[in-house]
């Protein structure tokens, strides 16, 4: 529609999903706004709106939410890293929090923890209180950001977990300060009514969660930055008969671009002259260079390995293949909504409800004639017992335990949202090259011509290929090394772009390469030479004009692939293979691996579309890949799973990274995710039950039936017990063992 425009804004200051949510809500309230996508990975927002909405209005709305917005340039990608929480701040908070917990819990355990007499609550109760206060202050300072954010969200009537923690820890802190004062004026019994450890430990753990979230966000930015770096900044063109170097973004359609050996092609185009092998692995995932000659299409971002090309530009700037991959990745990230955290969802009701209960309780007891001490005790008891420690720890502790156990098994999760998504997976899509297979050619078959031996064929081929970094040469030379086949390197070699190599070896003229090369050199190939086996790549060799034989190479399936796929099938999870390779090779590999569904000859953009198709069918999809070509599909999937041996872009576009070279890690990741989510649900259940039972008791319901009042001391103990229960339950994940 002509009346529709896309406005992109860079945003500074967003640190969490709550921040992006507040920006999202503010922008959606504007008249004329149809759609809003706030992207934490790039610190930006894309707004689809009518022409009546001015860009400046968008920027001003962002600024009113408390962040700083600025209009982004066309096609600009914001990859600036955020460092709001330093490792030093985190270390201070964790160190001080741990000491406060030790001191504060020393007298609460069945067996007292040893303390120096100078801070022992029985000998020096004032020092006991003051040392906890002194150590809590640095923790509060280190975690000041989410106190501020929590307060802001309360003011905006959108309280979140920051708000819950801020209220709970502030209440515990203020109550502790009051009793510290009581100790100072001589009431030593108040030394047992301190809750500094609750405030300090909760703040330290929340700070740890924020730190991990920030690191995950920066990793996502690195993925985009890696893609951006593949787009050449300059281009060598011919205008008015002269070569000149200009910025790549200034290249125009139909310009003649010169590409020299070893350089990246700056635009999409068609070859006008020259021949060369082009490395397209960053787009296709296939290791073999592709021969380009007259009228061959070439893609921006690919590398010209040998030879020089002159191409006619057909796609420039944002219309190149690599730019489209970048756009697919960023768009997929924008569409990917944050995982629904139950605690955050209910916080908007929970916080005002608890505060209301505390206030109403106080008023009712005051009207009933109770003294100020009783009223205050009940007010504090309600707030302390309802402190969302257990609720706040339910998810992050389980995530830390689950992800920690995963790391021990060579499985890296990028966050709790990834674990939640992985637990729902019912379809796993695999890339072929480098994932199901090793992604490296190996000698599979040797077919010498009559009168020649396998050894002589390999000797001549290795001699000619010696020194080459071509995947075929590497495979042949490795085979000779492993089988101790001796050869003398060629005296001279000449690469024949896209077809093979010619060499002078011990007074023999050897050529090795494609069938086309044999035809060009008028080499007669005997009729009894077998056909190239399905799924193999062949190299033909001749010496002094006489055909000596053929060597077939193939990519080999990983031995763990069969085991992993069999386990997935037994779990009721459907397995699919998507590859840019031909149907013959793809079907051969799929049959061997046990995969029933195959999509072959698929382009990078189509991989992403295929994943989207499965998602539209109601499936929860995990994509397993290793190459740049897999990046859009990895980002589009509900869960992207990358092999550490793959490219950085693939890894950083994924939610799960497999550090061990074993595809059974995919199965382990899904099983661990399912168990972690079960633990989280159990934690949340008990946290809610605790509050449902604890709040009425703290409000004084037992008093109505002649029972005792619920002192803040017992409220604090109950709060600590709930937290310990949640943590203990979460630690069960550390004993997770993969199924054999």
Name the least confident of 320-324, 381-385, 477-481, 646-650.
646-650
pTM above 0.75, yes or no: no
Hey, what are 646's tokens? 């793959």
Which comes out higher in pLDDT, residue 558 or 714? 558
Which comes out higher in pLDDT, residue 239 or 78? 239
End-to-end C-alpha distance for the chain, whole angstroms? 56
Give the pLDDT band of residue 339 (cuts 50, 70, 90).
very low
Name the least confident of 427-431, 556-560, 626-630.
626-630
Name the least confident of 155-159, 244-248, 379-383.
155-159
How far apart are the C-alpha atoms of 632 and 609, rounded to whole Å? Answer: 9
| The pLDDT of residue 338 is above 50 | no
- 235-244: average pLDDT: 91
pLDDT per residue as tens digits for the range 410-450: 788 876 778 888 999 999 999 887 788 887 788 999 999 99
Residues above pLDDT 90, as percent of the chain = 32
Which comes out higher in pLDDT, residue 120 or 206? 120
How far apart are the C-alpha atoms of 143 and 205, rounded to whole Å? Answer: 10
What number of helices (H) and strands (E) belong to the chain? Answer: 23, 26
Give the pLDDT band of residue 662 (cuts 50, 70, 90).
confident
pLDDT per residue as tens digits for the range 123-178: 899 999 999 999 999 999 998 877 887 787 777 666 655 666 777 678 778 888 98
- 636-665: average pLDDT: 77
How far apart are the C-alpha atoms of 262 and 515, rounded to whole Å? Answer: 26
CB 732 within 8 A of CB 679: yes
| The pLDDT of residue 91 is above 90 | yes
CA 506 to chain centre: 54
The confidence score (pLDDT) of residue 352 equals 74
| The pLDDT of residue 294 is above 70 | yes
| The pLDDT of residue 328 is above 80 | no
The confidence score (pLDDT) of residue 711 equals 62
Among 162, 255, 268, 431, the active-site one is 431
Give the pLDDT band of residue 690 (cuts 50, 70, 90).
confident
**What Cα–Cα distance (Å) separates residue 724 from each residue in 43, 194, 205, 390, 417?**
37, 18, 14, 8, 24
| The pLDDT of residue 713 is above 90 | no
Quickly tell me which residue has 């906890």 as its tokens. Answer: 132
413-423 burial string, b = 16+ CB within 10 Å, else e? bbbbbbbbbbb
Decide if 431 is catalytic: yes
The confidence score (pLDDT) of residue 472 equals 86
What average pLDDT does the chain have?
82
């Amino acid at each position: 529609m002509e009346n529709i425009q896309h406005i992109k804004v860079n945003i500074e200051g967003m640190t969490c999903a709550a921040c992006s949510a507040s920006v999202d809500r503010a922008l959606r309230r504007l008249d004329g706004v149809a759609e809003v996508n706030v992207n934490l990975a790039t610190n930006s927002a894309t707004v689809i709106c009518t022409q009546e909405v001015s860009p400046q209005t968008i920027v001003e709305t962002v600024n009113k939410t408390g962040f700083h917005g600025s209009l982004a340039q066309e096609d600009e990608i914001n990859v600036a890293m955020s460092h709001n929480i330093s490792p030093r701040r985190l270390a201070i908070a964790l160190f001080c929090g741990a000491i406060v917990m030790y001191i504060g819990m020393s007298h609460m355990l069945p067996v007292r923890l040893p303390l120096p007499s100078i801070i022992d609550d029985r000998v020096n109760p004032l020092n006991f209180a003051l040392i906890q206060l002194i150590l809590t202050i640095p923790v509060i300072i280190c975690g000041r950001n989410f106190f501020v954010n929590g307060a802001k969200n309360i003011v905006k009537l959108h309280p979140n977990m920051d708000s819950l923690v801020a209220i709970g820890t502030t209440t515990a802190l203020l109550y502790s300060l009051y009793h510290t004062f009581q100790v100072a004026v001589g009431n030593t019994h108040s030394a047992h009514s301190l809750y500094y450890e609750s405030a300090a430990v909760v703040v330290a753990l929340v700070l740890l969660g924020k730190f991990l979230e920030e690191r995950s966000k920066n990793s996502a930015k690195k993925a985009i930055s890696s893609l951006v770096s593949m787009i050449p900044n300059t281009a060598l063109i011919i205008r008015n008969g002269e070569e000149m170097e200009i910025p790549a973004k200034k290249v125009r359609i139909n310009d003649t671009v010169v590409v020299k050996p070893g350089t990246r092609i700056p635009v999409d185009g068609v070859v006008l002259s020259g021949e060369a092998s082009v490395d397209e692995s960053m787009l296709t995932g296939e290791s073999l260079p592709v021969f380009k000659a007259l009228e061959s299409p070439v893609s921006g971002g690919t590398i010209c390995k040998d030879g020089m090309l002159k191409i006619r530009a057909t796609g420039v700037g944002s219309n190149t293949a690599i730019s489209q991959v970048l756009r697919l990745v960023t768009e997929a990230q924008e569409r990917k909504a944050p995982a629904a955290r139950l605690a955050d969802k209910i916080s908007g009701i929970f916080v005002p409800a608890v505060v209301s209960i505390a206030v109403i309780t106080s008023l009712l007891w005051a009207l009933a004639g109770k003294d100020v001490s009783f009223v205050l005790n009940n007010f504090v008891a309600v707030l302390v017992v309802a402190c969302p420690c257990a609720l706040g720890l339910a998810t992050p502790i389980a995530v830390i335990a689950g992800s920690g156990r995963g790391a021990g098994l060579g499985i890296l999760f990028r966050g709790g949202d990834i674990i939640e998504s992985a637990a729902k997976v019912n379809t796993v899509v695999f890339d072929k090259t480098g994932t199901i297979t090793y992604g490296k050619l190996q000698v599979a078959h040797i077919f010498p011509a009559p009168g020649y031996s396998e050894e002589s064929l390999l000797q001549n081929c290795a001699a000619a290929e010696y020194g080459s970094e071509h995947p075929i040469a590497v495979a042949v030379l490795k085979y000779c090394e492993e089988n101790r086949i001796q050869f003398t390197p060629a005296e001279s070699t000449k690469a024949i772009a896209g077809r093979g190599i010619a060499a002078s070896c011990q007074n023999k003229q050897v050529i090795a390469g494609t069938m086309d090369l044999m035809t060009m050199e008028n080499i007669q190939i005997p009729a009894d030479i077998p056909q190239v086996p399905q799924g193999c790549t062949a190299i033909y060799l001749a010496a002094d004009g006489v055909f000596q034989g053929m060597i077939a190479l193939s990519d080999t399936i990983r031995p763990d692939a069969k085991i992993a796929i069999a386990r997935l099938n037994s779990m009721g999870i459907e397995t699919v293979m998507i590859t840019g390779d031909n149907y013959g090779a793809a079907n051969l590999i799929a049959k061997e691996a046990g995969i029933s569904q195959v999509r072959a000859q698929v382009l990078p953009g189509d991989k992403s579309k295929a994943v989207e198709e499965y998602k539209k069918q109601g499936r929860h999809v995990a994509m397993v890949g290793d190459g740049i070509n897999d990046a859009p599909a990895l980002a589009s999937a509900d869960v992207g799973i990358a092999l550490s041996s793959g490219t950085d872009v693939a890894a950083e576009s994924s939610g799960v990274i497999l550090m061990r070279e074993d595809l059974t890690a995919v199965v382990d990741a899904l099983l661990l995710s399912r168990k972690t989510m079960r633990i989280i649900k159990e934690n949340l259940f008990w946290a809610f039950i605790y509050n449902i039972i604890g709040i009425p008791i703290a409000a004084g319901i037992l008093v109505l039936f002649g029972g005792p009042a619920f002192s803040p001391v017992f409220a604090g103990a109950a709060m600590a017990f709930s937290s310990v229960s949640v943590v203990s339950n979460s630690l069960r994940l550390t004993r997770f063992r993969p199924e054999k």
